Amino acid sequence: MDVREALYTTRAMRRLAPDPIPDDVLLRILDAAIRAPSAGNQHRFRFLVVKDPATKQAFQALYREVFDELNETRYAAMAEAVRTGTATPDQVRVSNSAAHLADHLHDAPVLLFALGRPGEESSVFPAVWSACLAARAEGIGSTVTTMLKSRRVESEALLGLPEGCEYQMTAMLPLGRPTGRWGVAERRPLQEMVYLERWGRPPGWTVDEALWPDPHASKGAR
């Protein structure tokens, strides 16, 4: 797969089929992910693969608890908007997809945990995102999730981290074949995300649609 296609179409895929991920596919994803950079090339990140049904079920219960808590606190306004029909179509889509994941987390064939040292998340996330991109190249969907950090003690006990372990859970990616379609991720316009020379200074150009696939290429040329 073209690297630009992977960059543009790797997005949160929360509806996953339960079919197992073949070992060779999982190995290619992990082997690509550990090529990611880390500070001082010290490899201060680890992956932990969870496939055991009982362990996945236990994580689903924890995840669902956190999800419900967030819907009553941080995401209360959004949850209310979805309930009362005033949410935007995009908010409804994300909300439904997040709820689906909270109910079906254990159906994902693999829960991939990324671990790092406290305060060193910046050496974990390059590998996390590489795992998402490598999964995309294999047709495997993923979502970066961090909600379980609100249940760190319980989660790390389920993962078998020993007392005093120098690593802690940083993120969890459910992996599996997506049941939906891949599409270009919707994002704010580029000019809202980039400044020139000084904070707040507009870049002096505008980009109104994603630059992949090339919006100027003729259909016949693709």
Ligand X SMILES: Cc1cc2nc3c(=O)[nH]c(=O)nc-3n(C[C@H](O)[C@H](O)[C@H](O)COP(=O)(O)O)c2cc1C
| R_g of the chain computed on alpha carbons | 19
155 binds ligand X (CB under 6 A): no
Closest CB to ligand X among residues 186, 208? 186
**Residue 215 Cβ, how far from ligand X at the closest point, in Å?**
19
Q: Which helix (H) or strand (E) holds 170?
A: strand 168-176
Nearer to ligand X, 108 or 161 (CB): 108
CB 180 within 8 A of CB 101: no
CB-closest chain residue to ligand X = 11
| Binding letters toward ligand X, positions 19-58, x by CB under 6 A | ----------------------------------------
Alpha-carbon gap, residue 112 to 106, rounded angstroms: 12
141-142 sheet: strands from edge to edge: 45-50, 110-116, 168-176, 141-142
The DSSP code for 64 is H
Among 98, 110, 131, 135, binds ligand X (CB under 6 A): 98
The nearest distance, CB 186 to ligand X, in angstroms, is 6
Q: How far is the CB of 60 from ligand X (least distance, A)?
A: 13
Query: CA dist 202 to 86, 189, 205, 208, Å?
Result: 32, 12, 8, 15
Of 157-216, which residues contact ligand X (CB under 6 A)? 185-186
Candidates 32, 48, 49, 94; binder of ligand X (CB under 6 A) is 94
Going by C-alpha positions, the residue among 150, 125, 183 that lies closest to residue 71 is: 150
Q: Which residues bind ligand X (CB under 6 A)?
A: 11-12, 14, 94, 98, 101, 143-147, 185-186
